[in-house]
Each structure stands twice: as structure tokens, then as C-alpha cells.
Amino acid sequence: MKSGVNWLHQRFVSSIVESCTKDQSYVIMLKWDAINEVHTKLKQKCELVQQIGGIIEKYQYKDLKISFYKTGKLLLTNVNHIDVLLKELFK
């Protein structure tokens, strides 16, 4: 098995865009075939804070806020090290 962020990108992530806000946010677009697996991992590792209309779920993971969109987008807020975080969430 490959390790590291490169492997995560190949399996789960389509793109990562750093937000221009001061709160260290990232928008991650997931690959279509990985959306359900990532959603399952989030439900196992994070605390569900809010559900909005069956489309968005907001989670808390340590100091991080995660918005999961059923369309395959993650919004991560208060991220210190995106590579380390992705390894923690997706392993």
C-alpha cells in the first residue's frame, strides 16, 4: 500500500483549494467514487454538529470545523497542516 498524501489524492481527492480567508480554510473536491467512503470516515471520527436540509452536514474534529456537502465537497476551517489532517481523516 502506498503511504502519504499522494496516495490520498489518488484515492479520494480531486482538488484542494486554499481559501483566501484568514481562518486557514480549504475546499476539497472529492472524487465521485470516494464520496460515500469519506462520508463514512467522517461519521466515525467526527462529532456531528448540524444537518442542513439533507445536503450539508457540519462536523467537529478536534479544533477543526468540517462542512460535508453531499455533492462531494468538504470545507475545512481552522486547518494548521492540511497534509497531516487528510492522513488522520482518511486513513
For 34-46, the pLDDT digits (tens) are: 999 999 999 999 9
Distance CA 42, CA 22 (A): 25
Say if residues 50 and 40 touch (Cβ distance below 8 Å).
no
Q: List, for residues 64-90, the tens digit of each pLDDT value.
A: 999 999 999 999 988 888 888 888 888
Quote the pLDDT of residue 49. Answer: 97
Say if residues 53 and 44 touch (Cβ distance below 8 Å).
no
Q: What is the mean pLDDT of residues 10-30?
A: 86
3-state secondary structure of 78: coil
3-state secondary structure of 1: coil
Q: Measured between alpha carbons, how far is residue 33 from residues 23, 24, 62, 76 in Å?
A: 30, 27, 27, 20
Domains and CATH numbers, the chain: 5-90 (3.30.310)
Quote the pLDDT of residue 89. Answer: 85
Q: What is the mean pLDDT of residues 30-36?
A: 94
